[in-house]
Structures are given as structure tokens and as C-alpha cells.
Amino acid sequence: MMAPLRLLAAGALLAGLSACGLQPMYAGGSSGAVARGLSAIEVPAIEGQAGWLVRNALNDRFSAGGKSAPQYKLIVRLDDQLEGLGVLSDDTVGRERRTLRARYQLVSLANNEILLDATAGSDAGIDVVSSEYATIAAEQTALENLANVVADKIATQVALTLRERR
């Protein structure tokens, strides 16, 4: 008796969910409108090591379903800051914060219209230890992680913009 009641309740919930207007972003897989739009984005070179990391991460996300002829250009400008925090009693820095911010524009190549003008960013805390090598390795790892986080944020916003345009 309980099983049919549960099935009926689950069916009612699913029916209500389908009416809420939620739609899968990547409907149609690699042949869907959003995936095709993402594969048609050209990302020009971005200055610096952080730029190289972000550009590679963006290209990985945009070309997951293959690559097609460019229809859009994504222009990205980065600001990578490393600042010392937490001065110890011997006047050395005990903690650092690395901040990576991006200002980006999605431009249609057909008419040079700016479709999206936004920012994304993230930061990470780094412990400064007595080993200079360990501190430099931690700073590098933080930059690599921040580049992936920023690329994820950019790719998500670009995908949402492309979905709205279809």
C-alpha cells in the first residue's frame, strides 16, 4: 500500500518540477545550441603566466565538444595580486593572499557587438613557511587553482549568455 502512494507522490513532484521552467543548460549534448556556441569562441592570448593558465583552462572548457569556426571572441584582462598579511614578531610575513580578478567581454565577430561585459575573481590564502621553495610552490599551486576557478566562473557566465541568445 505504501509503495503506490510513494510512486504517486514522486510523480506529482516530478510533474511540478517540469513546470517550474528549469531547463538543462547543455540540452542536446555536444550538438546543442550552448555547446555549439561555446565551441565557436576564440580566446586570444592573455598576458602573463596567469593569463596562460586561464586561457588554457577556458579553451579546455569551450572545446569539450569539438571546435567550430569562430563566431565570438572572448577578451580577458587579468589582475594577479600577491600581498603579505599577518606580520610576525620578527617582522616577517606569516601569511599571503593571492587574488586573481578577470574583466572579460564576449564579442560577436559578425558585428563587433559586446554580448557580455563582466568580471570574475577569486582569492586564496597561503602560509609562508621557513622553506622558500615550499612557499613558492604554494604560491604557484594557488595561482593554478585560482586560474581554474576564474575560468569556471567565466565559462558559466558565457554559457548562460549564449543560452539566453538562442
The whole-angstrom separation of Cα 27 and Cα 162 is 13
Closest C-alpha among 109, 108, 120, 142 to residue 76: 120
Of 51-55, 81-85, 140-144, where does mean pLDDT reach its minimum? 81-85
| pLDDT digit string, tens, across residues 14-30 | 666 555 554 554 555 55
* Three-class SS state of 60: helix
CATH placement of domain 27-165: 3.30.160.150
The C-alpha cell that represents 88 in the structure block: 610576525
Write the pLDDT tens digit of every residue in 67-106: 788 999 999 999 999 998 877 777 778 888 999 999 999 9
- The C-alpha atoms of residue 21 and residue 42 are separated, in whole angstroms, by 31
Interacting residues of 97 by C-beta distance below 8 A, sequence separation 6+ = 82, 83, 85, 123, 124, 125, 126
Residue 112: left if φ>0, alpha if ψ -120 to 50, beta else—which one? left
